Amino acid sequence: MTYEEHGHQGGPVPPPGCPAHRAPGGGGPQDGGLLRLFGPEAEADPAGFYEKLRAEHGEVAPVLLHGDLPAWLVLGYSANLTAMRTPSRFSRDSRRWTEFKRGRVAADSPVLPVIAWQPTCSFVDGEEHRRLRTAVTDGLNRFDRRGMRRYVTRFSDQLIAGFGDGGRADLVSQFAEHLPMLVMTQLLGMPEEYGPRLVEAARDLVRGTATAVASNEYVVESLRRTVQRKRVEPGQDLVSWLLEHPSGLTEEEVLEHLRSVLLAANETTSNLISETLKMVLTDSRFRAHLSGGQMTLPDALDQVLWDSPPFMLVPGRWATGDTELGGRAIRAGDMLLLGVAAGNADPVVRPDLDTPLFGNRSHLAFGSGPHECPGQEIGRAIAESGIDILLTRLPDLQLSVEEDELVWRGNWMSRHLTALPARFTPPGELHPQRPADGADTTVSTPAPATAAPAQTPIPGQRSGTSATVPTTPTTPPPPPVPPTAPALPPQRRGWWGALLARLRG
């Protein structure tokens, strides 16, 4: 397995082992002498880097982020749970961050998109958190697995039809990176035509390309149009449920929560699908267990969530006052990074990393405490159903390259498989049609649908009801995302512009 270096801001990065990787000074997060959490040394082998920090610092290690901003990386399993479960000591409100107050965070800092305060339940605590989160969880809990599986089946079949005849596919770019967004657009009540374009925008946004800001504006504008439509024509979908919830969310709060749900669900579920498929195709133990019936697909997902969580670390928590964690003196306003992957590998809870953890869901991948991921069951349902359908349709699926040829692209929060090349027997050859004598023997594969029927079963509708929801928009869908920055209405200032305006005072 190899690592493909991700682009870094701030000029050339010194080679691994160079003294320049350590800043001068003492040992605390505000004193220097710290390892940087970005660059080849940290990102080429994250697990090894975390263990190096654990050996030197214990449960909590001082580190530097981009721009040499100081933070604490929580490595211990128990210390992570403490930080997650005690908002009175470790708040989600990033406005507490000392570096913000000192004006040390650059307006183009790569940490801003994930730590800058937003009006969502992820960045507040107490009663305001309960108000916002209740609306989100009530909406997400109205979906059931049976309904979601109908959507997963439909889109999985469409994706497989797109590459199935060739007998070869890249399961990352042709399956894992598309399926979650296609399903989520339906759960949010967006027109089906939005799905493929939102996939491209979301991928561009997460990768931090030159058009990432424009892609973010495209996502927000697409959601804004959907909200406007749902105010007039509500349906059985998350957008409508947030708008009508008694918590009384403002339009900005609705938009920001929808954006967070859409992007987080897409990124985490895409990674979960890719890593699980990689494990199934490369680890003989798991392949044998799956085919022999000794391990279920949910067990395989749990193992991946322990070994390769979608996010290796999650920012952040901010100390509400001077306190202590893992033997470290934490000052008010210090930022903590939750080391999910490091906590999952803590030798205190996993002395032998090779021991399977079938059915054990006490991993940290979805967090814990009041800010535990509210959409984890939806993500699991999409990943589990999608992989099950793929393996059923393509039962002899195999990796078409050597395992050590697989490449990951990394950043300070996560790493992603760039490709998962596979080969298989085309479905038409596995189950050839047998026409009557004299009939046309050509087998045609239906093209992926480009538009849903006028009425589509509601994915969250419980059995015994017959309600349907139109999927055809009453207003034209937004234009496709082009290779360059998408054109957007000039009179609206998007999320990113508002963010920069707040930072600049």
Domain ranges, ordered by start, for the chain:
2-427+455-496
End-to-end CA distance of the chain: 46
| Per-residue pLDDT, 411 | 78
Place of tokens 């958190």: 129
pLDDT of residue 219 exceeding 80: yes
Model confidence pLDDT, tens digit, residues 132-187:
999 999 999 999 888 889 999 999 999 999 999 999 999 999 999 999 999 999 99
Task: Give percent of the chain with pLDDT exceeding 70.
Answer: 76
Amino acid 442 reads: T
pLDDT of residue 26 exceeding 60: no
| Per-residue pLDDT, 207 | 65
Closest among 172, 171, 165, 233 to 203, alpha carbons compared: 172
Euclidean distance between CA atoms 475 and 488, whole angstroms: 16
- The CATH fold assigned to 2-427+455-496 is Cytochrome p450 (1.10.630)
Cα dihedral across residues 197, 43, 301, 368: positive or negative: negative
pLDDT band at 210 (very low <50, low <70, confident <90, very high): low
| Per-residue pLDDT, 15 | 37
| Per-residue pLDDT, 414 | 84
**194-207 and 179-187 helices, crossing angle to 10°:** 120
Reduced to 3 states (helix: H, G, I; strand: E, B; else coil), residue 290 is helix
Of residues 505 and 345, more confidence is placed in: 345
pLDDT of residue 484 exceeding 90: no
8 A C-beta contact, residue 194 and residue 477: yes
- E-assigned strand segments in 12-153: 35-36, 60-65, 69-74, 90-91
Of residues 66 and 366, more confidence is placed in: 366
Average pLDDT over every residue of 71-75:
97
Instruction: Region of 172 please: left (phi>0), alpha (psi -120 to 50) or beta.
Output: alpha
Euclidean distance between CA atoms 300 and 294, whole angstroms: 11
| Per-residue pLDDT, 203 | 77
Q: How far is CA 416 from CA 74, 305, 501, in A?
A: 22, 14, 32
